[in-house]
Amino acid sequence: MTIAFAQRERLGEAQGPIPGTTLFDGDAAAKGYALNAMCYSFNDKANREAFRADEDGYCARFHLTPTQREAVRSRNVLAMIAAGGNIYYLAKLAGIFGLSVQDVGAQQTGMSLDAFKQMLLDSGKD
Amino acid sequence: MARIIGGYFTSHVPSIGGAIVRGDQQTPYWKPFFDGYPPVREWLAEEKPDVAVCFYNDHGLNFFLDKMPTFAVGAAEVYHNEDEGWGLPVFKSFEGHPALSWHIIEQLVNDEFDITTCQSMLVDHALSIPFELVYPDAPAWPVKLVPIAINTVQFPLPSARRCLALGQAVHRGLESWQGDERIVVIGTGGLSHQLDGERAGFINPDYDRFCMDSLANDPEALVADTTKEIVRKSGSQGVEILNWIAARGALGEGGFREKTRNYHVPISNTAAATMVLEPA
């Protein structure tokens, strides 16, 4: 079964972009460096508190681009990704906003939280 | 002479740590996932490994994007966890096994893997959660750790074939190690999931089953795809299967059989899987 499946998968291998997916590559890493560096700083509780106390000042300290600043201001995860954010780092920022990965998923897919969770549950049904 | 008892493979979703802290293991949402672990615990209690060689990926605790090694091998006396940004309770530290780490490093570089070596290294939930799941009541981890981090975060990622080869080189190192330790090989992460983008929530049980079915005796089937195609089939973070592939390589050639397998969708945004392979 496994070899046949593998061959079928290979023969059917689609090329080109993956829908709804941004590969975090060198371009994205370069573009998003300031934003991801800020998010990395949130491993430290004192930094999370400093961000909460003065969001503008904290973002300025990390030299976010205007586009990154606006994405953070609007809590818009897709805009953060478009600005070079990496989801593992953005997850630390989302935590400050009280957003779980399901909240983040719902926001990006334009679904309600319940609908997003239901979609995940349905993925497991045969 | 050292003996490899087998391989333990598991997902490492951060929210598992939250469920453990809250004591949610028997709730309807979590039970089908946690039910996968008693057989692993029994196996470990029987086999009593004293060293774990663990392939995982760091999520922005030890490595930031300023320096991102493709492959990094820990050679520290001790490995600590720290706050990963959510203020969750910090996981227990691990005792290292620097002599074995350096032996593996010698083997890898001799085999032309130009790795990064780390004498100081924080380890995140990707390492701690697999141990929390199988040693739930241990006051301290009963195994010494050799951690091997693979970049699954920033493209270009190492190819699946290269990760398998890395694991095979680690296996050669374990084979020539003169100690008498009992070694468990661990691969963490996956299976299919995607946290980012309009495709967030993507899960692919068919591909996950293909991976689980191939792992024991047909790992070559797992390395045919490019990492980009793995992302297409498995999701942006499903590419953590690279850690499983490297761990499978470290088990060595020869037949393996599945001691146990559990697969449950979803845990958080992830298709969660647990497997143990032992020599056939």
Domain coordinates of chain B in residue numbers?
3-254+263-269
The correct answer on CATH 3.40.830.10 for the domain covering B3-254+263-269 is yes
Each residue's pLDDT tens digit, A59-88:
999 999 999 999 999 999 999 999 999 999
The residue among A15, A86, A88, A114 with the most chain B CBs within 10 A of its CB, best to mutate, is: A88
| Sign, Cα dihedral of B149, B152, B153, B154 | positive
Whether A125 has a pLDDT exceeding 90, the answer reads no
pLDDT computed for residue B102 by the predictor: 98
Taking CB atoms and an 8 Å limit, are B85 and A92 in contact across chains? yes
pLDDT computed for residue B178 by the predictor: 95
155-184 in chain B: CB under 8 A from chain A: 155-156
pLDDT computed for residue A9 by the predictor: 47
pLDDT computed for residue A126 by the predictor: 66
What is the rounded CA–CA span in Å between residue A81 and residue B103? Answer: 41
- Asked if the bond preceding B266 is cis, omega within 30° of 0, the reply is yes
- Residue B211's closest CA among A2, A22, A111, A58? A2
In order of their start, the domains of chain A are: 23-98 (1.10.700.10)
Running DSSP on this structure, what letter comes out for residue B90?
P
Whether A8 has a pLDDT exceeding 70, the answer reads no
pLDDT computed for residue B221 by the predictor: 97
Running DSSP on this structure, what letter comes out for residue A65?
-
- Residue B59: active-site member: no
Taking CB atoms and an 8 Å limit, are A18 and B231 in contact across chains? yes
Nearest CA in chain A to B232: A18
What is the rounded CA–CA span in Å between residue B93 and residue B80? Answer: 5
What is the rounded CA–CA span in Å between residue A31 and residue B278? Answer: 45
Each residue's pLDDT tens digit, A94-109:
999 999 999 999 999 9
Counting as low any pLDDT under 70, the low residues of chain B are none
Q: Which helix (H) or strand (E) holds B214?
A: helix B205-215
Mean pLDDT, to the nearest integer, of A13-42?
A: 92
Say if residues B214 and A6 touch (Cβ distance below 8 Å).
yes
Taking CB atoms and an 8 Å limit, are A6 and B265 in contact across chains? no
Q: Which residues pair with B276 in a beta bridge?
A: B8, B260
Collapsed DSSP state (helix, strand, coil) of residue B38: helix
pLDDT computed for residue A16 by the predictor: 86
Each residue's pLDDT tens digit, B2-39:
999 999 999 999 999 999 999 999 999 999 999 999 99
Cβ atoms within 10 Å, residue A7: 12
What is the rounded CA–CA span in Å between residue B32 and residue B158? Answer: 33
Taking CB atoms and an 8 Å limit, are B196 and A87 in contact across chains? yes
Whether A12 has a pLDDT exceeding 90, the answer reads no
- Catalytic residue chosen out of the listed positions B12, B59, B125, B171: B125
Collapsed DSSP state (helix, strand, coil) of residue A111: coil
What is the rounded CA–CA span in Å between residue A4 and residue A27? Answer: 37
Which residue among A2, A26, A102 places its CB closest to the CB of B214?
Answer: A2
Q: Which residues pair with B273 in a beta bridge?
A: B263
